[in-house]
Structure 1
């Protein structure tokens, strides 16, 4: 059935993304991330190999990543809600700004020259790796800010996350953890707000991509549907395994794993 629906390059992308999505689902549940830090570099390598025009590779990778995060983070968020891992007050505080930031980030990505987008992504990932490494041992006691501070923080997180094609967990988790939110709840909140950031960013990339030249078949704006389908089919299933690990792993181990994960990705992007 899939062979009938997709041409050979699209089928190759679909099958690869089935495997990629299985890994992303576990990470989404375990770390509160949507997997964009894996999806974007993977698609940047894969899409040119199947004949996708270079000038649309990065926007497609970002838009597809955000589209997959909508379902991946939603599945992780549902599991975290069932497990009691979500602080709804923190979610309400950050959510409005994150929605605005998601739309703003997709607009900025459309304005930035295509050849500079990979450098922007690599810089953001390196920043995320370093800031998490530096805060691994920090035990913060600051309370969450008021509505204005929460809106500002959410806007920054949403904008940066959309520019990197991620759900914001790499920023939301350490932010909440520094503001006296325990790691388990910070991860659950990150999965919940990540879905909202991804929806806003995805809609922006779809709108900006409609009618663009060089898009491959089966594209919806800057969302490549074969890749999206492969990722979400497995990631929404495997996220439950990551959620189970959250309650078993000590906080410091989660922080170290999270920081190491980001550092490896950033090094890979700069080398590549």
Structure 2
């Protein structure tokens, strides 16, 4: 039964990566947390493992989605650079900070992060409609990039939940914002995965198939079915921007409810 649940999570991750730039975290973290909690109910590292495995999934999903969007010429280099460099710096800080944060606190921070993001999208003007295009100031790129990288890596959610609202409020439609979110997630995923895989102490025997804090068996299933989800999503019809934005927020609400319950 667990393998079916993980496969569904992987497929859903692929779809949401391509359509909403999630790359893995919002779907993977709750599912992996639930599966491992059932297997090891007294383990104090379950949330850390869910975050680490989610981060590794993002490497594959974000890279695959970025490749597809590059072929479609949807990615604007002026948005990506230099923001991606500051996100990379923040990613290092977030991954190192995770050692100082308890499993229980990470779960609480994940929920708070999601609730703040949902409220920001709903109650602040500019997310559900396309505004006149305005440039990202250097301060926003520096401070915003470091903040995005650190929070996203610490919680294993990718950067889309912060980059997409940021770009939407600067006049970019959902399609362009999602396309940019995937390459901007890559430094978060790559740096976080390296630290979780090779610099994290692990108390698990090789029989459990772990590399650091990353569960290799779960990762493999998620990557395979995630690729299938991305391939299918490429053939779905284009979604109108206002509807695209509303579905994005609705999915954030669903994931928040799932991790709370």
Structure 1 pair 13–195 and aligned structure 2 pair: CA distance change class (3 A): farther
In the alignment, structure 1 residue 95 sits paired with structure 2 residue 84:
yes
CA contact (8 A) 1:25 1:238 kept: yes
- Provide the rounded CA distance (Å) in 2 between the counterparts of 1:66 and 1:145: 27
Cα offsets for 1:40-89 (capped at 9, x unmatched): 11111110222375211011000000000100111111111111211111
Answer yes or no: is the 8 Å Cα contact 1:41–1:269 preserved in 2: yes
Tell me how large the CA RMSD over aligned residues is.
2.0
Q: What is the distance in 2 between the residues matched to 1:238 and 1:213?
A: 33
- CA shift at 1:26, angstroms? 0.7
1:152 — aligned with what? 143
1:3 matched residue in structure 2: none
SS at match of 1:209: coil
Query: Which residue of the partner structure matches residue 56 of structure 1?
Result: 45
TM-score by length of 1: 0.87
CA distance in 2, matches of 1:189, 1:39: 21
User: Is structure 2 residue 85 aligned with structure 1 residue 72?
Assistant: no
| Contact 1:126/1:267 (<8 A) preserved | no
For residue 158 of structure 1, report the CA deviation from its aligned partner: 1.0
Aligned: 1:252 with 2:215: no
Pick from 106, 109, 118 the counterpart of residue 98 of structure 2. Answer: 109
Measured at CA, do residues 244 and 167 of structure 1 come closer, stay the same or move farther in structure 2, by a change above 3 Å?
farther
1:11-49 CA-partner distances (Å, limit 9, x unpaired): x65553222111110111001111211111111111022
Aligned partner of 1:265 in structure 2 is 255
Aligned residues: 258
Moved more, 214-223 or 60-69: 214-223
- What is the DSSP-based 3-state SS (H/G/I as helix, E as strand, rest coil) of the residue aligned with 1:141? coil
Name 1:209's counterpart in structure 2.
200
1:175 — aligned with what? 166
The equivalent of 2:131 in structure 1 is 140
Question: Are the aligned partners of 2:196 and 2:213 in contact in 1 as well (CA < 8 Å)?
Answer: yes
Q: Tell me how far apart the structure 1 counterparts of residues 256 and 40 of structure 2 sit (CA, whole Å).
A: 26
Shift of 1:252: 0.2
Task: Tell me the distance in 2 between the aligned counterparts of 1:158 and 1:87.
Answer: 20
Secondary structure of the corresponding residue to residue 62 of structure 2: helix
Whether the aligned pair in 2 keeps the contact of 1:44 and 1:58 (CA below 8 Å) is yes
Of residues 179, 204, 209, the one that matches 1:188 is: 179
Q: Residues 170 and 15 from structure 1, CA distance in 2 versus in 1: closer, same or farther, beyond 3 angstroms?
A: same
CA contact (8 A) 1:58 1:114 kept: yes
| Alignment partners' CA distance in 1, 2:9 and 2:55 | 15
- The whole-number CA distance in structure 2 between the counterparts of 1:213 and 1:172 is 35
